[in-house]
């Protein structure tokens, strides 16, 4: 049908079967057969024939509009294909903060490799301000950070909001008669916390300070996985981002989430940042657009 649509478009734009036939290097009978075939396939009349003059029907106008859209899409596809062919395998560097490295980055890399297997993906990690610097200086194409970035040189696309959860071994009980549990159960609670210097630890310390809490900090570790594995051994709890805690992870490690209303207020926004859009591969730009429109929910 694409071939017939192209012929139909030429007839409309040339306002003449003869001129369209000459433009397409077709005989007039061959061109007429293609128009007739298109009308038969669509089950509609595209032209109203008034003497020697052709006039578009209402459906013909709709079909012409559709054909123009298809032509533009086809041109865009060929242009993108040409860029792929010229580029071959494309190297993409993603900078990820320590938090997003463990929560969001794995899913994003999987999404990108599935849709664009021709990409060679590299990942660099660091603290949020380090990732911002990498992207600003062009040493990373995009950055994944657990905050909103206000930088006049960078574009920041918010992806989703996150907050902290209290995670405990299933065998560990809290002494509280309140439902939901009050934030003050954390006071004196044995805990394993994320290492200092990351925004999750800053958020945690701000929470403790705001509510005048002094938990019994047993360990400080920069790996969420290690923290979860040690909770049973140390009979301790932890505060981890909601985006990291999946049902299967809880089941595999025999853990539970204890709802605390005040923790829902510890919101931070995970965002993707990038510099000049024109410097990004077209597929990366499309991927960013897709992420921003279909914001993942955790």
From the list 91, 158, 155, the residue with the least C-alpha distance to 123 is: 91
| Position 213 pLDDT exceeds 90 | yes
Q: Which CATH architecture has domain 2-86?
A: Orthogonal Bundle (1.10)
| Position 177 pLDDT exceeds 80 | no
In the chain, domain spans:
2-86, 89-161+269-293, 164-266
Q: Which CATH architecture has domain 89-161+269-293?
A: 3-Layer(aba) Sandwich (3.40)
- Give the model's pLDDT for residue 244: 86
Same fold, 89-161+269-293 and 164-266: yes
CATH 3.40.190.290 fits 164-266, yes or no: yes
pLDDT tens profile 233-261:
999 999 998 888 888 889 999 999 998 98
Least confident span in 50-54, 126-130, 234-238, 275-279: 50-54
- Give the model's pLDDT for residue 282: 80
């Amino acid at each position: 049908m694409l071939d017939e649509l192209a012929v139909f478009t030429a007839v409309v734009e040339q306002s003449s079967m003869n001129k369209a036939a000459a433009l397409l290097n077709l005989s007039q009978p061959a061109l007429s057969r293609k128009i007739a075939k298109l009308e038969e396939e669509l089950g509609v009349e595209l032209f109203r024939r008034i003497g020697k003059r052709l006039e578009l029907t209402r459906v013909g106008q709709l079909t012409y509009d559709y054909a123009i859209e298809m032509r533009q899409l086809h041109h865009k596809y060929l242009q993108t294909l040409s860029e792929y062919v010229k580029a071959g395998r494309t190297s993409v560097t993603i900078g990820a903060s320590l938090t997003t490295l463990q929560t969001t980055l794995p899913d994003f890399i999987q999404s990108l490799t599935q849709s664009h297997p021709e990409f060679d993906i590299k990942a660099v990690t660091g603290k949020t301000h380090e990732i911002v610097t990498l992207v600003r200086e062009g040493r990373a194409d995009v950055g994944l950070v657990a905050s909103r970035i206000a930088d006049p040189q960078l574009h920041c696309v918010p992806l989703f909001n996150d907050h902290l959860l209290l995670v405990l071994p299933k065998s560990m009980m809290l002494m509280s008669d309140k439902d939901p549990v009050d934030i003050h159960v954390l006071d004196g609670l044995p805990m394993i916390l994320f290492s200092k210097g990351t925004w999750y630890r800053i958020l945690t310390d701000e929470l403790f300070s705001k509510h005048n809490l002094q938990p019994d900090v047993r360990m400080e570790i920069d790996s969420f996985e290690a923290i979860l594995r040690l909770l049973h051994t140390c009979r301790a709890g932890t505060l981890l981002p909601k985006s990291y805690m999946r049902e299967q992870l809880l089941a595999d490690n025999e853990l539970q989430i204890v709802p605390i209303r005040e923790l829902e207020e510890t919101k931070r926004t995970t965002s993707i940042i990038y510099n000049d859009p024109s410097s990004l591969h077209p597929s990366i730009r499309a991927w960013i657009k897709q992420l921003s429109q279909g914001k993942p929910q955790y």
